[in-house]
């Protein structure tokens, strides 16, 4: 019987670093569509970028002729930039949901558990690899933010808050997906649970408040409690939080409550940062129990990678 030859990497990879788990996750493809799938994704990706760039240039030309370039780029960041960022969060969650279940499916989890890498290093490598798995989409999101900043459609403080918000939400999604990957036995179940949990966290606060307002105030809450609705929307709903943080300087002159909404959004980042930290602690504590792997004790013997010898 002739066994099929394993697929070799199309390009040479660098030498393994001192963090092998992170190296593995960084150089491992997000998914394996095959040669035909790679061609289709490349064709549609290039066509989408060209069409999007063409529409963006046309819109910028029309906005520049009417002296509204800043407002136009701000709308692009608020709507299209927020959509791209949320798509990246979904990618982080799906990649994290397959960290441990994917190792079980490929029957490589036992090999991973028998290495001399510490438990915390394994968890960190998987966690960071999930966040870096969507790094190529930064070639779309970063130019949008930079263009809006140069055109006056994005305040410099907003750019800092947007970058901080992306990191916070990505860390939360990575922790959530990895926790569910430890609990679930199937990649499909973990992925669906991650997506549904993320959508539930976005929709549940608003749904609960809307139900309470409709029962207690007949759908017309008084002015002294409208801040609760604003907090629920702008702080506890990540897409709305990024939308709010995509402000430009003129917003403060046109809308008197801009600072208040931005403050709510910053509070929301703090809440999700706390949740991300709690998920990280839960991951570190649950990984040994879920896998049955005892902590690796250092014996004082240094293990170094030997240079390749000519054969």
Q: What is the pLDDT of residues 66-115, one digit of tens each?
A: 777 888 899 999 999 999 999 999 999 999 998 888 888 888 888 888 88
pLDDT score, position 162: 95
pLDDT tens per residue across span 20-35: 777 777 777 655 544 5
Kind and range of the H or E run holding 206: helix 187-216
Look-up: residue for tokens 């809006």?
148
Spans of the chain, pLDDT less than 70? 1-14, 16-17, 29-46, 48-49, 52, 54, 56-58, 60, 63-65, 219, 295-311
Q: What's the confidence (pLDDT) of residue 303?
A: 41
* CB contact at 8 A, 199 and 238: no
What are φ and ψ of residue 69, in 5° steps? Answer: -65, -40
Distance (Å, whole) CA 309 – CA 293: 33
| Residues 6+ positions from 262 with CB-CB distance below 8 Å | 161, 244, 245, 247
Contacts of 228 (CB under 8 A, 6+ apart): 209, 221
Asked if 243 and 83 count as a contact pair (C-beta separation under 8 A), the reply is no
Asked if 284 and 184 count as a contact pair (C-beta separation under 8 A), the reply is: no
Q: Which pLDDT does position 197 carry in this prediction? A: 94
Residue 148 near residue 78 (C-beta atoms within 8 A): no
Q: Are 177 and 93 spatial neighbours (Cβ–Cβ below 8 Å)?
A: yes
The predicted pLDDT at position 84 comes to: 92
pLDDT for res 301: 41
166, 172, 174, 176: CA torsion to nearest 10:
-150
* Residue 73 to residue 79: CA distance in whole angstroms: 10
Residue-level pLDDT at 54: 62
Copy the structure tokens of residue 197: 């949990």
56 token code pair: 């963006």
Query: Quick check: 153 and 73 in contact, CB under 8 A?
Result: yes
Helix (H/G/I), strand (E/B), else coil: 13: coil
pTM, rounded to two decimals = 0.83
* C-alpha to C-alpha distance for 99 and 82, rounded to whole angstroms: 26
- Note the pLDDT of residue 145: 94
Domain limits of the chain?
Answer: 20-291
């Amino acid at each position: 019987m002739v066994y099929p030859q394993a697929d070799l990497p199309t390009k040479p990879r660098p030498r393994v670093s001192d963090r092998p788990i992170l190296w593995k996750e960084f150089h491992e493809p997000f998914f394996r569509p095959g040669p035909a799938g790679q061609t289709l994704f490349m064709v549609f990706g290039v066509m989408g970028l060209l069409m999007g760039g063409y529409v963006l240039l046309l819109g910028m030309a029309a906005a520049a002729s009417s002296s509204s370039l800043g407002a136009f780029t701000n709308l692009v960041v608020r709507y299209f930039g927020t959509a791209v960022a949320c798509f990246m969060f979904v990618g982080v969650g799906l990649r994290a949901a397959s960290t441990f279940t994917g190792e079980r499916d490929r029957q490589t989890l036992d090999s991973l558990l028998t290495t001399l890498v510490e438990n915390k290093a394994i968890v960190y490598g998987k966690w960071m690899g999930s966040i870096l798995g969507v790094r190529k989409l930064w070639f779309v999101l970063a130019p949008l933010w930079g263009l809006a900043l140069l055109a006056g459609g994005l305040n410099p403080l907003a750019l800092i808050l947007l970058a901080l918000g992306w990191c916070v939400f990505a860390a939360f999604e990575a922790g959530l997906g990895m926790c569910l990957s430890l609990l679930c036995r199937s990649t499909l179940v973990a992925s669906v649970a991650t997506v549904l949990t993320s959508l539930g966290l976005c929709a549940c606060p608003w749904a609960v408040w809307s139900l309470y307002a409709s029962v207690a105030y007949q759908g017309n809450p008084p002015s002294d409690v409208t801040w609760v609705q604003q907090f629920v929307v702008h702080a506890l709903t990540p897409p709305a939080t990024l939308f709010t943080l995509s402000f430009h300087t003129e917003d403060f002159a046109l809308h008197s409550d801009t600072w208040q909404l931005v403050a709510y959004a910053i509070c929301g980042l703090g809440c999700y940062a706390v949740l991300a930290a709690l998920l990280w602690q839960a991951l570190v504590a649950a990984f040994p129990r879920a896998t049955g792997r005892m902590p690796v004790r250092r014996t004082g013997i240094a293990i170094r990678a030997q240079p390749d010898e000519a054969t």
